[in-house]
Amino acid sequence: AGIGKHFKYLILGGGVAAGYAAREFARLGVKLGELAIISKEAVAPYERPTLSKAYLFPQGAARLPGFHVCVGSGGERLLPEWYSEKGIELILRTEIAKAELTSRALTSVAGATFTYDNLIIATGSVVTRLTDIGVQGADCNNIFYLREIDDAYKLVSAIQARKNAKSVILGGGYIGLELGAALQINDLDVTMVYPEPWCMPRLFSPEIAAFYEGYYAIKGIKIIKGTTAVGFDSDANGNVTKVKLKDGRVLDADIVVVGVGARPHTTLLKGQVAEEKGGVKTDSFFKTSVPSVYAVGDVATFPLKLYKELRRVEHVDHSRKSAEQAVKAIKASEAGQTVEEYDYLPYFYSRAYDLSWQFYGDNVGDTVLFGDNNPLSAKPKFGSYWIKDGKVVGAFLESGSPEENKAIAKIARLQPPAPDLEQLKNEGLSFASKF
DSSP single-letter state for residue 239: B
| Residue 111 CB-half CA count within 13 A | 3
Q: Could you write out the DSSP letters of every residue in 372-399? A: E--TTSSS-EEEEEEEETTEEEEEEEES
Toward ligand NAD, which CB reaches closer, 214 or 261? 261
Q: Should residue 399 be labelled a site residue for ligand FDA when binding is judged by CB under 6 A?
A: no
Q: How many whole angstroms separate alpha carbon 226 and alpha carbon 12? A: 39
Q: Should residue 305 be labelled a site residue for ligand NAD when binding is judged by CB under 6 A?
A: no
Residues 320-359 interacting with ligand NAD (rule: CB under 6 A):
348, 350
Span of 60-68, 188-196, 328-336, 427-435 interacting with ligand NAD by CB under 6 A: 188-196
Residues 213-232 interacting with ligand NAD (rule: CB under 6 A):
228
Q: Should residue 133 be labelled a site residue for ligand NAD when binding is judged by CB under 6 A?
A: yes
Q: Should residue 393 be labelled a site residue for ligand FDA when binding is judged by CB under 6 A?
A: no
Q: H or E stretch including 27? A: helix 16-28
Toward ligand FDA, which CB reaches closer, 290 or 368? 290
C-alpha dihedral (192, 193, 194, 197), degrees to nearest 10: 80
What is the closest distance, in whole angstroms, from the C-beta atom of residue 351 to ligand FDA in the complex? 7
* Residue from the set 119, 208, 260, 407 that interacts with ligand NAD by CB under 6 A: 260
- Residue 297 contacts which entry, ligand FDA, ligand NAD, none (Cβ below 5-8 A, type-dependent): ligand FDA
Summarize the chain as % helix, strand, coil (round to 5): 30, 30, 40
Burial of 338 (0-12, 13-18, 19+ CB in 10 A): exposed
Q: Should residue 297 be labelled a site residue for ligand NAD when binding is judged by CB under 6 A?
A: no
Burial of 388 (0-12, 13-18, 19+ CB in 10 A): middle
- Residue 176 contacts which entry, ligand FDA, ligand NAD, none (Cβ below 5-8 A, type-dependent): ligand NAD
Q: Should residue 261 be labelled a site residue for ligand NAD when binding is judged by CB under 6 A?
A: yes
Toward ligand FDA, which CB reaches closer, 82 or 370? 82
Q: Should residue 125 be labelled a site residue for ligand NAD when binding is judged by CB under 6 A?
A: yes
Determine phi and psi for 370, rounding to 5 degrees.
-135, 160
Q: Should residue 315 be labelled a site residue for ligand NAD when binding is judged by CB under 6 A?
A: yes
Prior bond of 402 cis (ω within 30°): no
What is the closest distance, in whole angstroms, from the C-beta atom of residue 239 to ligand FDA in the complex? 24
- Residue 133 contacts which entry, ligand NAD, ligand FDA, none (Cβ below 5-8 A, type-dependent): ligand NAD
Please report, in angstroms and rounded to a whole number, the separation of the first and last CA atoms in the chain: 60
Burial of 340 (0-12, 13-18, 19+ CB in 10 A): exposed
Where helices occur in 162-283 by DSSP H, the ranges are 174-185, 206-218
Q: Which residues contact 429 (CB under 8 A, 6 or more apart)?
A: 370, 371, 383, 397, 400, 404, 407, 408
Q: How many whole angstroms separate alpha carbon 124 and alpha carbon 280? A: 11
Q: Should residue 170 be labelled a site residue for ligand NAD when binding is judged by CB under 6 A?
A: yes
* Residue from the set 10, 11, 30, 52 that interacts with ligand FDA by CB under 6 A: 52
Toward ligand NAD, which CB reaches closer, 153 or 435? 153
Q: Should residue 174 be labelled a site residue for ligand NAD when binding is judged by CB under 6 A?
A: yes
| Contact residues for ligand FDA, defined by CB under 6 A | 13-18, 38-41, 48-49, 51-52, 95-96, 122-125, 146-148, 265, 268, 297-298, 314-317, 319, 348-350
| Contact residues for ligand NAD, defined by CB under 6 A | 52, 125, 133, 170-176, 178, 194-196, 202, 228, 259-262, 314-315, 348, 350
